[in-house]
Structure 1
Amino acid sequence: MKRASMDRFIDTIEWIAAAFVGIVAANIFIAVLLRNIFSYSIPDSFDIGRMLLGILIFWGIAATSYRGGHITVDLVWANVGPRYQRWIDVFATLVLLFVVTVQTWTLFDKVYGTYNDNVATFDLGMPTWPFFAVAWAGDVSAVLLIAIRTWRLIFHPDQIHDSKITAPE
């Protein structure tokens, strides 16, 4: 995959995560507006909102994992040289890759179980597995982006979109 196409893939995942932020915000705004002004409650709005928030979390993991925008503790990293900083970054990213890969595996089990058990929402009886499947797709995207980040950290640190990453000495 060329660098430009890989960057487009990364940007697409970030846009999907951003779209889910908008969808969650719109769902909450509309539900509150209807409830407080018109005394009308959207059927299953709580369940839908809850599942959309889960989707947002997993797609957000994908977006923040590549850019290094998640919360970090850089006490040791800030006090060592660039070579060791890179080693720490590679190690931390490999640990993150392992953890998110295991999480993705277990989330697939949840999608499969929800599908087989025919779990549905209370009011409308909508199946919940599609929401879980979209969340799982976000987790798969996170694994892919973390793998790309790991590859770039090891072989092409100049291609990382992170201000704290420096090229090897």
Structure 2
Amino acid sequence: MTTWVFRLARWSAIVGGVVLCAITLMSVTSITGRALSGVGLGPVPGDFELVEVGTGVAVFLFLPWTYLRGGHATVDLLYNHLPAFLQKTVSMVCDVLMLVLWLALTWKLWDGMLEKREYLETTFILQMPVWWAYAACFVGAVIGCLAYLTKTLINLGLARYPEGWPVESAGVH
């Protein structure tokens, strides 16, 4: 199961990268269009809305892989001076708290998505249904829950890293 979650998180990050590249290209196109408005070009309609939605989606798709790779920022000022058992305890408590936070976040994304869909809320310029953005972020949040659960199970000794996974790049401080 861990191999599947790690692969899913990796592909999620790749899709997030594609979304971020698309936002970048669209922004360059829109800025160029604004700069050349004197010759009949113009900005991409709804560019701010697209950047807003795309950035949120990309972040949710990046976070699970970032977590599994140990890429989140840590403050090691005191941590490195703790005994090994306390370091493991601190990591475990943080992982469990983050899992609880992600579960709550995912639940509220689901609630928000249903509410936006029920009231047919749309963006101002493109009239794009807002619940689409919530749905895309929800996918990333579910993958994040799976990533946090998997890492917590690994830290508890109930699961193992995928075969060939370099443990030193898996979030060891």
SS in 2 for 1:123: coil
Name the CA distance, whole Å, in 2 between partners of 1:115 and 1:164: 38
Q: 1:164 to 1:121 in 2, by over 3 A?
A: closer
Q: Which amino acid aligns with 2:10?
A: D
Other-structure match for 1:141: 143
Aligned residues: 165
Say if 1:67 and 1:161, in contact at 8 Å, map to a contact too.
no
Match runs of 1:39-54 below 5 Å: 39-54=41-56
Say if 1:120 and 1:128, in contact at 8 Å, map to a contact too.
yes
Match runs of 1:72-91 below 5 Å: 72-91=74-93
Aligned with residue 169 of structure 2, among 158, 162, 165: 162
Match runs of 1:23-62 below 5 Å: 23-38=22-37, 39-62=41-64
Name the CA distance, whole Å, in 2 between partners of 1:125 and 1:133: 16
Q: 1:124 to 1:163 in 2, by over 3 A?
A: closer
Q: Which amino acid aligns with 2:27?
A: I
Q: 1:138 to 1:164 in 2, by over 3 A?
A: closer
Q: Which amino acid aligns with 1:165?
A: V
Post-superposition shift, 1:21? Answer: 2.2
Other-structure match for 1:16: 15
Post-superposition shift, 1:164? Answer: 5.3
Post-superposition shift, 1:63? Answer: 2.6
SS in 1 for 2:156: helix
Which structure's relative contact order is higher, taking Cα pairs within 8 Å and 6+ residues apart?
2
Q: 1:100 to 1:48 in 2, by over 3 A?
A: same
Q: 1:87 to 1:127 in 2, by over 3 A?
A: same
Q: 1:109 to 1:164 in 2, by over 3 A?
A: closer
Identity %: 20
In the alignment, structure 1 residue 7 sits paired with structure 2 residue 6: yes
1:77-121 CA deviation, whole Å, 9 max, x = no partner? 211233322221111111111111111111111111111111112
Q: 1:121 to 1:134 in 2, by over 3 A?
A: same
Other-structure match for 1:100: 102
In the alignment, structure 1 residue 113 sits paired with structure 2 residue 120: no
1:119-153 CA deviation, whole Å, 9 max, x = no partner? 11223322121122101111111111111111112
SS in 1 for 2:45: coil
Unaligned runs of 5+ in 1: none
Q: Which amino acid aligns with 1:162?
A: S
Say if 1:108 and 1:136, in contact at 8 Å, map to a contact too.
yes
Post-superposition shift, 1:44? Answer: 1.4
